[in-house]
């Protein structure tokens, strides 16, 4: 069986959100599974010297327009959240804590968190909001709230960011298929062709 596809993303990344709505379905069409890896772009940027697109002179205004256009292109609901961007440690930690218990539940949480932020404008940078989103899926809110502050869960996210950097991940979304990297939601057509042909 082919190796799973690796999908790296930050919960504050609109392009990561668009990819999250598409990648599982595309992979399934080729008999592949996807491993999801939430990371922190802030940590990655300390190595890549990057910064949020909307903070870049000239490119920032374009990015706002492109994000909205890309949402329409992909047929994904999107409403520009405020504030943006946000810290996403709590959401990423929640994902890994849930993943250690129930992979499918962690995936449902990732979708719920992304949609809460980019559809409903809920600030998932706030731990209490992350707990509320998870509780809506039946998660024990008190247990999750405690886990978000635990050293093992913090270490898990830190290790995930280090591993991503070691693999050359520098942005969100970032997909790796059998060692081949693809950066950005606009690479979805290339990803599909790569999966269809085995490479080009």
Would you list the domain boundaries of the chain? Answer: 5-197
Determine the average pLDDT of the residues in 84-89. Answer: 96
Q: 34-38 and 5-9: which strand pairing?
A: parallel
- Mean pLDDT, range 143-166, rounded to an integer: 98
Q: What are 15-29's pLDDT values in tens digits?
A: 999 999 999 999 999
- Three-state DSSP class for 87? coil
Three-state DSSP at 176 gives: strand
Looking at the chain, the whole-number percentage of residues with pLDDT higher than 70 is: 100
d(CA 135, CA 68): 30
Instruction: Report whether CATH 3.40.30.10 matches the domain 5-197.
Output: yes
Mean pLDDT across the chain: 96
Task: State the pTM of this model.
Answer: 0.96
Pull the structure tokens for residue 143: 């247990």
pLDDT at position 1, please?
Answer: 65
Name 35's bridge partners: 6
**pLDDT for 25:** 97
- Mean pLDDT along residues 39-55: 91
Report the pLDDT averaged over residues 94-116.
98
Contact present, 92 and 38 (Cβ < 8 Å):
yes
pLDDT in the model for residue 70: 97
Tokens for 153?
């869960």
CB 188 within 8 A of CB 22: yes
């Amino acid at each position: 069986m082919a190796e799973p596809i690796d999908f790296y993303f930050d919960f504050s990344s609109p392009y990561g959100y668009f990819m999250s709505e598409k990648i599982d379905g595309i992979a399934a069409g080729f008999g592949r599974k996807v491993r999801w890896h939430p990371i922190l772009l802030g940590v990655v940027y300390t190595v890549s010297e990057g910064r949020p697109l909307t903070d870049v002179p000239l490119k920032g205004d374009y990015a706002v327009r492109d994000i909205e256009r890309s949402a329409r292109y992909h047929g994904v609901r999107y409403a520009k959240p405020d504030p943006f961007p946000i810290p996403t440690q709590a959401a990423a930690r929640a994902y890994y804590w849930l993943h250690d218990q129930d992979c499918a539940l962690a995936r449902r949480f990732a979708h719920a968190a992304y949609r809460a932020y980019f559809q409903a404008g809920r600030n998932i940078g706030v731990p209490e909001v992350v707990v509320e989103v998870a509780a809506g899926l039946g998660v024990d809110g008190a247990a999750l709230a405690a886990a978000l502050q635990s050293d093992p869960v913090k270490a898990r996210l830190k290790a995930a960011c280090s591993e991503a950097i070691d693999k050359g991940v520098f942005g969100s979304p970032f997909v790796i298929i059998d060692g081949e990297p693809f950066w950005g939601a606009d690479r979805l057509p290339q990803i599909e062709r790569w999966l269809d042909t085995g490479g080009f």
